[in-house]
Amino acid sequence: MLSSDGPSRSLALSAPGPAVYLTGDGMMSSPAAAAYFEALKGDARNCILITGHTARSALGSRIFDSAFRAQAGIAARAQRLTIKVHLDDRDVIALNRSVRAKKILLFHAPLENTRELTGKLQNLGVDARCGLEPRALEL
């Protein structure tokens, strides 16, 4: 869920059951990220997941500092999961061992490199396709 205005955010936060709230701001400096943080930080059942680089002074980094956590009343867990923007073949295979995707569409690399990785994934039983080829869109 991603709601940037106050009423929509309140409605999203009041929804029953488990939920995932996404913000496009890993530094947690936007008003939406700050509002979600304030609403979720006090419950140890919640987890704040940072998926990229954060400046040392940003809230997205400070939530890992025990002194700051105590001062700010943070009970929610904080985890960092950094995924490289440009994965190499080993990274893609390791990531898929973790997420266990059955279908993968590869793109954003030279055609020959993408074809080679597609073959490696297919040998591991994954329906991998090269996004640079027209048939790939028939997933």
pLDDT digits (tens, 9 = 90+) for 117-132: 999 999 999 999 887 7
CA count, 13 A, side-chain hemisphere, 82? 7
Share of the chain above pLDDT 90, in %: 30
Average pLDDT of the chain, as a whole number:
83
Give the bridge partners for 49, in sequence order: 79
Could you give the C-alpha distances from 133 to 105, 124, 126, 130, in angstroms and in order?
10, 21, 17, 6
Check: pTM over 0.75? Answer yes or no: no
Higher pLDDT, 108 or 27: 27
CA angle, residues 62, 60, 31, in degrees to nearest 5: 120
What pLDDT, on a 0 to 100 scale, did the predictor assign at position 88? Answer: 86
Integer Cα distance of 112 and 30 in angstroms: 40
pLDDT digits (tens, 9 = 90+) for 13-71: 777 776 677 677 678 888 888 888 998 899 998 888 888 778 999 999 999 999 999 99
Q: What is the mean pLDDT of residues 96-102?
A: 87
Terminal CA-CA length for the chain: 26
Q: Taking 90 as the threshold, does the pLDDT of residue 73 lie above it?
A: yes
